[in-house]
A and B are shown apart, each in its own frame.
Chain A
């Protein structure tokens, strides 16, 4: 669900559209979707309905759609802050992209995404994912926190 290859620490993207495009390219490469452009539109539609920017530089763009073939999480860090539409009007630098099939069966993974979202209310968690340069450590840390009750 979250693999080291889904962690990108120096993404060059200057706009929300560029970043979502990057996410969709990689989702296509990794066979998370077979419809790259459709997925792109799904992400943008969700952002139009309501921007997914949070606070302290975080955002959680998501697509829950027919275009997603397997549930996945990506973590991305961009070099320059992106204007996003956040709760505290700060630019976004830390992004968790959530990709969920429209008719996902089973609650284990949804539960993990739910836990990840609530982790973003915790300063310890945010500091760690902001600062770590080690993908293996990041993957372990994020998954551990998603699994804890």
Chain B
């Protein structure tokens, strides 16, 4: 399972990196290849390449903000989740997303 995602918050200072780190750690623990891009105060950090976007099974958007570069994920299942939930319960978020994508298919 290959998962990519983007986190973004209003000020871009703290919740953005926290959610990204929390999801990456949880992804590793659950045994998934999970990469998070941060769109925060420093612009795009750890950007998802077109290649990575293409090979991903689905996309997690941890934000209610406008996201840059969504066209990378055309045709992919995209799931929007609350950024603070990602900080609080990252494993549960990943599991739920996987289930949601499986149900769609």
Contacts and interface: CB of A to CB of B under 8 A. Distances in A.
A87 B87 CA distance: 9
A121 interface: yes
Contacts, number: 62
A100 B40 CA distance: 13
Contacts of B22: 121
A50 B10 contact: yes
Interface string B77-105: 00000001001100000000000000000
B42 A46 contact: no
Given A49-B10, A120-B18, A110 B87 contact: no
Interface of A: 46, 49-50, 52, 54-55, 60, 62, 64, 87-88, 98, 100, 104, 107, 110-111, 113-118, 120-121
18 contacts: A49-B10, A52-B14, A55-B87, A64-B13, A64-B41, A87-B84, A87-B87, A87-B88, A100-B13, A110-B13, A111-B42, A113-B41, A114-B14, A114-B16, A117-B13, A117-B14, A118-B21, A121-B87
The 4 closest A-B pairs by CB, nearest first: A117-B14, A114-B17, A87-B88, A118-B21
